[in-house]
Chain A
Amino acid sequence: MSTYKKVSGYQLRDDLYYDQDNNYWIYKDTADTVQIGFDELGLDISGTISSLSLPLPPKDVEKGEQIGALEAEKFVGPLTAPLSGTILEVNTDVLEGVQSLYEAPYETWIVRMSLKDHTELEQLVAPSNSEENFKTRVERYRKAGVLSW
């Protein structure tokens, strides 16, 4: 069973992989598929998200390829694939309203995909390293003036 811990003021789930460049969490829900969502830091640095756009599944993607966009009050930016594979599902609930992202960020996935290359998963931040990595990320954003104080 997953547990949460508070790290630098944010909740962190201890059984997830993390993409430190995109501030995603990745949960391996079967041997060949993952769910992907935003971690709490990823939500916070964007400001208040107003909308997401995501691709129509199924869609083959390569790691780093743009798969959608995020728009907030003062920010718009691309969403990129953290892994190569096929997007099997998108969470249509978050396309209609983003509230659930804030209410339960680690239970609200945005896309579900099959993996093309399992070794890419090992290049992400592993659960065992996530706490230290998360602290570093938070500090980087604090220095950049992106986080409230």
Chain B
Amino acid sequence: MQTQSNPKTQTQQSNVVFTRTKATKSGTKESPNWVRISAASAIALGFKSGRFTQEFEFGGINLLLNYDDGCKSDCAYCGLARTRPGDYEDKSFIRVEWPLVETDTLVERMRLLEAKLTRLCISMVTNPYAFRDTCTITDTIVRNVRTPLSILVAPPTLNRAKLEEFKTRGVDMIGIGLDAVTETLFRSLRTDVPAGGSGLSWTQYWKIVSEARTIFGPWKVNCHTVVGLGETDFDLIDMFDRLVSQEIFPYLFCFNPEPDSRMGSTPKSTITRWRRIQLAKYLVEQRSYKVKDFEFSNDGSLTGIKTPSATELVAAANDGIAFMTNGCPGPNGEPGCTRPYGSYKPSESYRDYPFLPSTTDLQRITSELELDGLTL
């Protein structure tokens, strides 16, 4: 394994200029030398003891940049939000702790366990050093591990040149955490917020989506969309249609209230709504359905699906793929980033399955879908 370069002496390799020198406090554990990893990643890489309720092949490793002063954003639903009570280093993200590990040690573990890895992802945070540090970590990973690498980007920190830089350095896919699927909702949850939006604007997000699509190509960009932030079913399905028509993957996430966040007491969507949205997204993405193929009530709730055959629709549900975790693919196109228990507790029903649902799972899903309640 190669030694990670000191960011302060990093050789300039491209047209992107690192103009700021980071005043790293002595002894702090910040990126790029340190990163946080998801609890599931920590278990898979042997940093932490533990196990999953149901054994399955897990190889999707998620990294999160770490800074003493944290993420500058203040999104209403996020565990890392600036105004969420508590020290940043103690904050949870998607409700569990993210262990802090040394980047070199992490990459060494990845190298040793490369055969079982399916996808790597660096999640940026809104921080002035995030781009530069993501480049440094990307270089270290790409030099040592062949597993495809994604970056979940922080659009306020980026522009076209910086996205091109990611591509040049070997990044395979770009994710954009849009989360809120309408401009009004985005503004209320992410822009017009107590600590200020730190440049989180609907316009900037879409600019980065567009630039990333141009640079990385078809089906190499994804947008995260969250069910349960206050949007309607129409808003979601319309967004899926718009993204798929641009050959951008919509990835679906279920809102899961983060304790003490501003949306900490907002309930998550009902399981039936969630299952129907999962199925609708699958139909749009995999079966060429358009938003016009769905029926909605006046308040935007899904009431029907204009399917050529109800049997076909049931068959689509029964193949189970619609209900699996959305994430970037592995080297052979298989689900590569499966985030077990990312949006539900182990004692709750799987909101999204990190493996293909079994026959028993599908019986439960069918019941939860309540297709009888939709006009087909």
> Which residues of A are at the interface with B, using a C-beta cutoff of 8 A?
44-48, 50, 69, 71-77, 144-149
Check if A73 sits within 8 Å of B39, measured CB to CB.
yes
Contact of A148 among B40, B49, B96 (CB under 8 A): B49
Q: Can you name 22 A-B residue pairings with CB atoms under 8 Å?
A: A44-B49, A47-B48, A48-B39, A71-B347, A72-B346, A73-B39, A73-B50, A73-B96, A73-B97, A73-B341, A74-B50, A75-B51, A75-B53, A76-B345, A77-B53, A145-B44, A146-B50, A146-B51, A147-B46, A147-B49, A148-B48, A148-B49
Check if B47 sits within 8 Å of A148, measured CB to CB.
yes
Q: Provided the pairs A47-B39, A148-B46 are in contact, do residues A76 and B346 lie with their beta carbons within 8 angstroms?
A: yes
Check if A75 sits within 8 Å of B52, measured CB to CB.
yes
Q: Is B340 an interface residue (CB 8 A)?
A: yes
Docked complex Cα distance between A75 and B58 (Å): 14
Check if A74 sits within 8 Å of B49, measured CB to CB.
no
Task: Classify chain B's interface size.
Answer: 10 to 19
Chain A residues positioned under 8 Å from B96 (CB to CB): 73
Interface string of B190-220 (1 = CB under 8 A from A): 0000000000000000000000000000000
Chain A residues positioned under 8 Å from B345 (CB to CB): 50, 71, 76
Contact of A47 among B46, B50, B347 (CB under 8 A): B50
Q: Provided the pairs A47-B39, A47-B43, A48-B97 are in contact, do residues A71 and B49 lie with their beta carbons within 8 angstroms?
A: no
SS of A interface (majority): loop
The 4 closest A-B pairs by CB, nearest first: A47-B50, A76-B346, A44-B49, A149-B46
Docked complex Cα distance between A71 and B46 (Å): 20
Which of B40, B47, B96 has the largest count of A CB atoms less than 10 A from its CB?
A: B96
Residue pairs across A and B with CB atoms within 8 Å: the count is: 61
Docked complex Cα distance between A146 and B52 (Å): 9
Contact of B50 among A46, A71, A149 (CB under 8 A): A46
Docked complex Cα distance between A47 and B295 (Å): 45
Which of A45, A73, A75, A144 has the largest count of B CB atoms less than 10 A from its CB?
A: A73
B155 CB to closest chain A CB (Å) equals 30
A65 CB to closest chain B CB (Å) equals 20
Chain A residues positioned under 8 Å from B47 (CB to CB): 148
B316 CB to closest chain A CB (Å) equals 30
The residues in B between 339 and 373 inclusive whose CB is less than 8 angstroms from any CB of A are 340-341, 345-347
Docked complex Cα distance between A145 and B116 (Å): 12
Chain A residues positioned under 8 Å from B53 (CB to CB): 74-77
B96 CB to closest chain A CB (Å) equals 5
A45 CB to closest chain B CB (Å) equals 6
Check if B346 sits within 8 Å of A45, measured CB to CB.
no
Docked complex Cα distance between A47 and B345 (Å): 14
Contact of A75 among B44, B46, B48, B50 (CB under 8 A): B50
